[in-house]
Amino acid sequence: MNSLVIMLVTFVLYLLAYNLYGKRLGRKIFDLCAESITPSQKVNDGVDYVPTNRLILAGHHFTSIAGTGPIVGPVLGVIWGWVPALIWVVLGSIFAGAVHDLGALVVSMRHDGKSIGDITGSIVSKRSRTLFSLIIFFALWIVIAIFAILMAGLFVQYPECVFPIWVEIPIAMGLSWYIYNKKGSLLVGSIAALLLMYLTIWIGLFIPVKLTADAWIVIIMIYIFFASVLPVQTLLQPRDYINALELGVAMVLLIVGIIVAPKLIVAPAIVANPAGAPPLFPFLFITIACGAISGFHSLVSSGTSSKQIAREPDALLVGYGGMLLEGVLAVLVIIAVTSGVPQEVWLKTYANFAKVPTLPTFAEGGARIVEVLGIPKALALNILAVFMVSFAGTTIDTATRIQRYVIAETAANTNLGWLSNKYIATLVAVISAYLLAFRKGANVIWPLFGATNQLLAGLALLVVTAYLARNKKPLVYTALPMAFMIVMTTCGMVANLVTYVGKGDWLLSIIDAIVLVLEVWLVVEAWGVIRKYTSTQA
């Protein structure tokens, strides 16, 4: 199969999906209304609730939901063959992931920008709010730990990317000052920030910074504490916006490279039993998360983005469009890692599931595509390395801020007022994640991360379905992907639990078991509420 054909067909499907399916959801199912007052307009505290230009917000939202998830997942997922991986990415993102992201965003907007866990209390029951908040806490705990490990590993493997990553912070804060304080032009600020960013990427080739992975994890944890308590428009928004521009350039380079020199797909179409890999069902749908559907996205939608939407119709671009763009990235990743090398090289790389070098595999594959444009390989590798670390950074920053919200909301609901202080809540989030990252490696945590993350997606769709039932709206759009995700991830978590117990890994066994119990309890309560709403309609 030709890589150019795959790219063009999938891109057309995404355009049709946005203009036909997405817009129908916005109009007919979620009733997006430009006259409605959004939480950002109602509160507008200048810290978390900030009415934001929809392009800036779309950039922040997209980089926050993406991270390295749509890279790591597809890189691993193609071990079962490029066909099932591609089908799941395209259909999953259109009919499950984008619906999930838009639904969580809208439901949060209609509940004063509260998190999906807190909203569960008013839609389902007060007890279910506590259950969902605990699941979210475990999910974010794992997310912060695993992305800190991934960032540290990238810093060690690509020391040339260290300088541009850290210099991006003052560039982003300068862009914020120019836009918000000086009321400058977004176009001028965007061009200046992007040019400075790529200048630092070139400079980074000459000043590599080398530290151990453990040292980088400590530095990252200190950084995310401060980044997560700053006003959202000071660092988080502008840096994510710059990262979105940076990603746009990287994706354009990959797309043009594929057009200029299309390559044949060398990976097998379907692999029934790859070495060292679990069964395709259900683990393909757990391994490939962010490129198709991801529960973490519901936390971003309801944690930060819903507090910054200026007009309700902007939710379509931010929520549904953001997920489709992530699907585009996942498709490019699949093409990058399945083409352009001799088949024997590919088979050697994928000889064992547990030993696939995920991020380096994409970096090398992407660099091969970009090289045809005349860009030196060292520079191409650094562009892609900076892109990967930047995205991991936006995810870990957003996850820490959301974890702070979750801890503060839970504290407020349980009369632990001292814990709702943003500095104390953030400190709890950072220290707990550091302890998990220090104790476990990324390869050990990833299966639990994937299963918990995808379970969270199913449960978020469950809450959105209950919201639609209460408002007498058709349920099929959210109920079908909800049922699919809950079944697949429950099977995956049970399989993980058996593996952890067999290995004597009691920490992960306990986390897995707790989340499973919380899930069953929450599903029973929510399903009862949905049946009550639907029977009332009948």
pLDDT in tens, 356-409: 888 889 988 999 999 999 999 899 999 989 988 888 888 898 889 889 988 888
In 3D space, the residue among 135, 65, 149, 67 whose CA is nearest the CA of residue 436 turns out to be 149
Rounded CA separation 533/466 (Å): 8
pLDDT of residue 440: 63
In 3D space, the residue among 387, 519, 438 whose CA is nearest the CA of residue 146 turns out to be 438
Q: Is the pLDDT of residue 507 over 90?
A: no
Rounded CA separation 449/73 (Å): 11
Do 70 and 290 contact (CB within 8 A), yes or no? yes
Q: At 462, is the pLDDT very low, low, confident or very high (cuts 50, 70, 90)?
A: very high
pLDDT of residue 426: 93
Q: Is the pLDDT of residue 84 over 80?
A: yes
In 3D space, the residue among 405, 396, 384, 66 whose CA is nearest the CA of residue 223 turns out to be 396
Do 110 and 32 contact (CB within 8 A), yes or no? no
For residue 66, what are its two tokens? 């993406």
pLDDT of residue 211: 97
pLDDT digits (tens, 9 = 90+) for 210-225: 999 999 999 999 999 9
Whether cis (ω within 30° of 0) applies to the bond prior to 282 is yes
pLDDT of residue 232: 83
pLDDT of residue 537: 58
Q: Angle 429-435-440 (CA atoms, 0-180°, nearest 5)?
A: 125
Whether 43 is in a domain gets the answer no
pLDDT digits (tens, 9 = 90+) for 127-166: 888 888 888 898 899 889 988 988 998 999 999 999 999 9
Mean pLDDT of 347-351: 94
Whether 456 is in a domain gets the answer yes
Locate all alpha helices (DSSP H) within 78-125, ordered by sequence.
82-92, 98-109, 116-123
More confident residue, 26 or 47: 26
Rounded CA separation 4/189 (Å): 34
- Under DSSP, the state recorded for 160 is G
Owning domain of residue 9 = 3-31+82-266+279-537
State the average pLDDT for the chain. Answer: 91
Rounded CA separation 26/102 (Å): 8
pLDDT of residue 442: 60
Tally the domains of the chain: 1
pLDDT of residue 390: 87
Whether 494 is in a domain gets the answer yes
Whether 25 is in a domain gets the answer yes
Do 106 and 316 contact (CB within 8 A), yes or no? no
Whether 76 is in a domain gets the answer no
Do 391 and 240 contact (CB within 8 A), yes or no? no
pLDDT digits (tens, 9 = 90+) for 195-207: 999 999 999 999 9
pLDDT digits (tens, 9 = 90+) for 405-424: 888 888 887 777 788 888 99
pLDDT of residue 325: 94
Task: Tell me if residue 334 falls in helix, strand or coil.
Answer: helix
pLDDT digits (tens, 9 = 90+) for 275-326: 989 899 999 999 999 899 999 999 999 988 999 999 999 999 999 999 999 9
Q: At 254, is the pLDDT very low, low, confident or very high (cuts 50, 70, 90)?
A: very high
pTM: 0.89
Tokens 């504290």 found at: 411
Rounded CA separation 311/54 (Å): 8
Whether 60 is in a domain gets the answer no
Q: Is the pLDDT of residue 536 over 70?
A: no
